[in-house]
Amino acid sequence: MTSTQSATQRLYDIVEQGLCIGCGLCESVAGRETVTMMKVPSGYQHPVVIGELDHATVDTIYDVCPGTRVDGLPDGLISDGATVDPVWGPWRRIALGWAGDPVVRYEGSTGGVLTALAQYLLNTRRVDFILHVKASTVEPMFGEATLSFTDADVLGAAGSRYGPTAPLLGVHDALDRGQPFAFIGKPCDIGALRNLARHDSRVDELVRYWLTPVCGGWGTPIFARDFLERMGVDADELTGFRYRGQGCPGPTRVETAAGAVEAHYLDYWGDDASQWSLPWRCKICPDGIGEAADIAASDAWPGGAPTREGSVDDPGTNAIIARTIVGQELMEAAERDGALVIERDVGPAEMSEFQPHQVRKKVAVAPRLQGIADEGRIVPRFEGLRLDRLAAEQPVQVNTSQRNGARERIRGGKATEATPRPVESL
């Protein structure tokens, strides 16, 4: 911090330097009378300062924000019996499986594992509610935080959300209930909540289960608008939007008052990872694999993506990574009671076949961070994720290319966003 910067500008530096993921935690920390999450002209959901923000609050935000800090699984949760893979992190068991209920398997994003586990936690009274996300009731391509108390609530929120979503917007309201709950969020959201635990003891007391999808990133608003244009749909006419689900991956479904149209999942994302349009923060993500969760569930497509032919009748299979004792016990109890079906165990080598883009990104993070430092920007703190070790195993020329590539993106404005200004409150 420099003496000339205001507290507001310090917060906006996170946004302007492309590090904000829109999780909503800063609003929860500062209070919604001071900072509020809004849709901004770029189409993202970012914090806008509307009250008196002080430096002490911004210090806390920098310590909890997943744009500025992400750590691996807390040391105390890496127990005997766990293996720590250089790429895939700590794990106790990795298996292929799906939801025991065929309806849940069909409606879920892949094999319905996270939906099935959330229902199981409620039905066995291990938790009182689930904090997760559902399709926004205001912006159909967005997600919004929700509390689920029943099987129907959970199932109604099934399906991936690849648009702006703030799952931690009301996390203090959830904590204020004083009831045990499970949290399901992206790996960066999990990291943010782990960060908050250092400041609020209620997090570790009340969040009994930490569940996450393995995440390849989410689409930029421009990317989403381009898709709608290809579909011949005006974004202002949207009444519903389902990215995937009802099969694996299932169709991308666009709804308006005039009716619905469907496209193949690959018509949205493209046929390979090179076509993905991701926010800058996703490009430097050190943990798309959910290292800080009890359980992470991923797609299990060989090569990292479905095929247009092979996905038509695919009922869906998740790769399930149990990282902690709590996660392994939950997975095995859910299998025993029929909430999950486990097909077979796998290991990190097969995970790398299912998720090759995660491997490529993880080994590139350390040199990309060096490129950020070269440009005098905020360098996020990513600890406990073996990033330097992975970079050291790469050829020098590869690391140099990644470092220079980050610098070029910054200099070309591809890692910069405008100062957040409100369009409308969400």
pLDDT at 76: 95
Phi and psi for 292 in degrees, rounded to 5? -90, 5
pLDDT at 274: 78
pLDDT at residue 1 greater than cutoff 70? no
Provide the whole-model pTM.
0.96
pLDDT at 424: 59
pLDDT at 272: 79
**255 three-class SS:** strand
- Cα distance between residue 19 and residue 60, in whole Å: 16
What mean pLDDT do residues 328-346 have?
A: 98
Phi and psi for 317 in degrees, rounded to 5? -135, 125
pLDDT at residue 2 greater than cutoff 60? no
Structural domain spans, the chain: 73-421
The DSSP code sequence of 100-111 is SSHHHHHHSSSS
- Return the exposure string of 224-247: e unless at least 16 CB atoms fall within 10 Å of the residue's CB, then b: beebbeeeebebeebeebbbbbeb
- Cα distance between residue 381 and residue 384, in whole Å: 10
- Per-residue tokens: 204: 């570790």
What mean pLDDT do residues 114-120 have?
A: 98
